[in-house]
């Protein structure tokens, strides 16, 4: 079945044509077959392949010009470059549409031996080049070219001059040093007050303290930063490189996720390009904070669950048959689902980076069982939600929650292996007894009373870890000290109060300043036009989900909601705009989906498509130019003070 274009039309049961099989309804069609690339491959082969003159008809002298109306031999096999189920294609990829002009690199059956072919013209490009172009034109390969090109651009922007500013900026003062402590001792330790100056001095020194330090975040993000420090040393480049690599790879993941979600390589690359030019994603990829690592694992988990959706629906279609069948849809067992387990692993790593990853475990857990219920409904189950609860809910819970818990505990291996970690010996001389109450996360002052139970059967290390986490939880729920750059989640989407990670005012001749007064800043803020466009896109997605039941819109909205809504319950807490980087990929997907709608559906007229393409192009160009204008204050470049003031569009940005 032909794949839809990059327009807005959703693929669901209602979009399937009359007479479509159950598989057509359950399994989304393949991404478009890349007609431009396929044409390029065909033309390359035709141009670079020497042709043997056709045999003249009876009675016609040899040497007649074969181009004078000569037609291909009847029954000559067509050439097909677009084979189904190529590398990287989603499950259930359909063959190329009937009637498409295929290309085959194989020699047609019955062709003359090579030694009868005419020699290639002098100076003609080698056939190997044609074969290479044709191979790159295959859908399974072409679907990677665009994402890799966008990723290369993202990598250049994120790795360029990464060691600047040569300073410990914002919360790097905690995480860069905690990462080095983990690398040296397996647990976080204290540092002297002048540690930052000593690390940045020439020659540098690393004055690691002896005492264990109380920390308030799990260790995966800090182990990630430590990997860069282990490879490149304890300096700004060393503690930033690992997060920068993850930020770059997240662009590649988003391109492939968007391709699978929208069945369009173009829209997938568009979403990735939007994230490439987002200021907040750029700044968080160039800074050794935990939120960039959190974003990476949340996005990876979403991608794994999306693949599982395609694979499980294809398996359900195989079990039920070509037409909906209530009995088979109710009894079908979908079996081993490794991509769902991989999603649980990624979400476990997200939770082991920051506890806010738990919001995504809960949100995505609800989302995937609703996906399962929808699949069984399409397959014919009379009571799809009851069937989902019987067949799918428990395996889904097992793939996410226990896996997350195991991954989280394993992430503390350095603390378990030590004797001197903070609170490591807390339970050694204490009787094992359960807490009398359990505080409810998100409900300040409310708790659930618990019975008093002997807990001596629990290993002392686990009881010590539990106490440590109780203290961490108390810190997070009571963090209300004022900070100049704290913000309310109501203002995040409109960039009401960004965070200045670094600021200096060099004078003439300092740090490249060529005017009387200059500014040098790293401002943790999204590209304004992108985020403000995303606000409109989210409204459009709400319409698509509520009125059209578009599951893609619903999935994107879940990704935004899980990263934004929980913080409304902590409005009195000291929180910051850069927490929003975790849902930046979903904002970019939302904008890409809206721009795809602007392009128009595949059946739209030429004028409609032209107007839509122009409008989408204007929006994209404005976002890119806006990013270019703000580039200096995303990367700490020295600019004249007047230029800096021109970029402060809102007073709250100062």
pLDDT at 105: 36
Q: Of all residues in the chain, what percent carry a pLDDT higher than 90?
A: 64
Average pLDDT over all residues of the chain: 83
Of 63-72, 152-161, 603-612, which gets the smallest average pLDDT? Answer: 63-72
Arithmetic mean of pLDDT, 304-316: 94
Arithmetic mean of pLDDT, 148-157: 97
Arithmetic mean of pLDDT, 250-256: 97
Arithmetic mean of pLDDT, 396-418: 96
Residue 359 has pLDDT above 50, yes or no: yes
- 438 or 633, which is more confident? 633
Arithmetic mean of pLDDT, 329-344: 93
CA distances from 552 to 11, 12, 406, 490 (A): 9, 10, 30, 25
pLDDT at 81: 34
Residue 393 has pLDDT above 60, yes or no: yes
Q: How far apart are CA 271 and CA 587, in angstroms?
A: 9
pLDDT at 26: 79
Q: How far apart are CA 524 and CA 626, in angstroms?
A: 15
pLDDT at 472: 93
Non-local (6+) Cβ contacts of 546 within 8 A are: none
Q: How far apart are CA 527 and CA 277, in angstroms?
A: 7
Identify the helix (H) or strand (E) that includes residue 639: strand 638-640
pLDDT at 9: 41
pLDDT at 93: 36
Residue 372 has pLDDT above 60, yes or no: yes
Confidence of residue 397 (pLDDT cuts 50, 70, 90): very high
DSSP structure string for 507-557: BTTSTT--SSBEEEEEEE---HHHHHHHHHHHHHHHHHHHHH--HHHHHHH
pLDDT at 24: 74
Residue 119 has pLDDT above 90, yes or no: no
Q: How far apart are CA 307 and CA 310, in angstroms?
A: 5
pLDDT at 135: 64
Arithmetic mean of pLDDT, 125-143: 66
- 338 or 16, which is more confident? 338
Residue 64 has pLDDT above 50, yes or no: no
pTM, two decimals, is 0.83
Confidence of residue 73 (pLDDT cuts 50, 70, 90): very low
Q: CA 378, 384, 390: angle at the middle one, nearest 5?
A: 135
Of 66-80, 133-147, 251-265, which gets the smallest average pLDDT? Answer: 66-80
Arithmetic mean of pLDDT, 381-408: 95
φ, ψ (nearest 5 deg) of residue 101? -80, 100
CB-side neighbour CA atoms (13 Å) of 643: 19
Confidence of residue 448 (pLDDT cuts 50, 70, 90): confident
């Amino acid at each position: 079945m032909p794949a839809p274009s990059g327009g807005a039309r959703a693929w669901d049961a209602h979009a399937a044509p009359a007479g479509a099989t159950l598989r057509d309804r359950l399994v989304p069609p393949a991404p478009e077959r890349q007609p431009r690339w396929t044409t390029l491959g065909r033309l390359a082969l035709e141009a670079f392949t020497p042709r043997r003159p056709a045999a003249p008809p009876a009675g016609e002298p040899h040497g007649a010009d074969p181009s004078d109306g000569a037609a291909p031999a009847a029954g000559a096999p067509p050439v097909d470059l677009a084979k189904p189920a190529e590398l990287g294609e989603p499950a259930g990829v359909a063959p190329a549409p009937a009637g498409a002009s295929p290309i085959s690199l194989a020699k047609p059956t019955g062709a003359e031996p090579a030694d009868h072919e005419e020699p290639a013209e002098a100076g003609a490009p080698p056939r190997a080049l044609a074969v290479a172009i044709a191979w790159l034109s295959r859908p399974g390969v072409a679907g990677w070219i665009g994402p890799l090109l966008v990723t290369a651009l993202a990598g250049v922007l994120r790795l360029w001059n990464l060691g600047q500013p040569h300073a410990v900026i914002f919360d790097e003062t905690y995480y860069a040093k905690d990462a080095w402590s983990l690398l040296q001792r397996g647990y976080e330790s204290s540092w002297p007050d002048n540690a930052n100056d000593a690390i940045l001095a020439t020659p540098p020194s690393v004055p690691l303290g002896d005492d264990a330090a109380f920390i308030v975040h799990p260790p995966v993000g800090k182990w990630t930063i430590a990997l860069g420090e282990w490879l490149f040393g304890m300096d700004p480049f060393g503690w930033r490189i690992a997060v920068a690599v993850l930020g770059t790879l997240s662009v590649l993941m988003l391109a492939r996720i968007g391709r699978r979600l929208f069945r369009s390589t173009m829209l997938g690359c568009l979403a990735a390009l939007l994230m490439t030019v987002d200021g907040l994603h750029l700044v968080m990829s160039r800074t050794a904070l935990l939120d960039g690592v959190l974003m990476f694992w949340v996005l990876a988990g979403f991608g794994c669950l999306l693949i599982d959706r395609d694979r499980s629906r294809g398996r359900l279609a195989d079990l039920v048959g070509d037409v909906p069948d209530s009995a088979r849809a109710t009894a079908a067992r979908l079996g081993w689902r490794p991509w769902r387990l991989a999603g649980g692993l990624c979400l476990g790593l997200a939770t082991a980076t920051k506890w806010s990853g738990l919001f995504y475990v809960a949100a995505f857990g609800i989302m995937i069982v609703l996906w399962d219920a929808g699949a069984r409904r399409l397959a014919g189950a009379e009571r799809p939600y009851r069937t989902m609860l019987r067949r799918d809910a428990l395996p889904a819970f097992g793939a996410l929650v226990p896996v997350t818990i195991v991954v989280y505990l394993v992430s503390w291996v350095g603390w378990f292996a030590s004797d001197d970690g903070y609170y490591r010996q807390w339970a050694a001389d204490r009787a094992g007894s359960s807490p009398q109450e359990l505080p409810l996360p998100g409900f300040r002052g409310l708790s659930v009373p618990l019975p008093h139970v002997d807990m001596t059967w629990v290993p002392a290390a686990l009881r010590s870890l539990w106490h440590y986490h109780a203290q961490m939880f108390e810190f997070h729920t009571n963090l209300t000290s004022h900070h100049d750059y704290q913000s309310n989640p109501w203002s995040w989407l409109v960039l009401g109060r960004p965070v200045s990670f670094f600021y200096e005012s060099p004078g003439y001749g300092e740090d490249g300043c060529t005017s009387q007064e200059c500014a040098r800043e790293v401002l943790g803020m999204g590209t304004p036009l992108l985020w403000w466009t995303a606000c409109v896109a989210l409204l459009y997605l709400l319409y698509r989900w509520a009125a059209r039941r578009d599951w893609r819109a619903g999935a994107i909205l879940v990704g935004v909601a899980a990263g934004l809504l929980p913080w409304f319950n902590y409005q009195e807490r000291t929180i910051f705009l850069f927490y929003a980087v975790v849902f930046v990929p979903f904002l970019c997907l939302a904008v890409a989906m809206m721009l795809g709608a602007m392009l128009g559906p595949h059946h739209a007229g030429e004028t409609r498509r032209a107007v839509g393409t122009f409008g989408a192009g204007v929006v994209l160009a404005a976002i890119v130019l806006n990013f270019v204008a703000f580039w200096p204050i995303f990367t700490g470049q020295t600019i004249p003070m007047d230029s800096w003031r021109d970029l402060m569009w809102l007073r709250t940005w100062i």
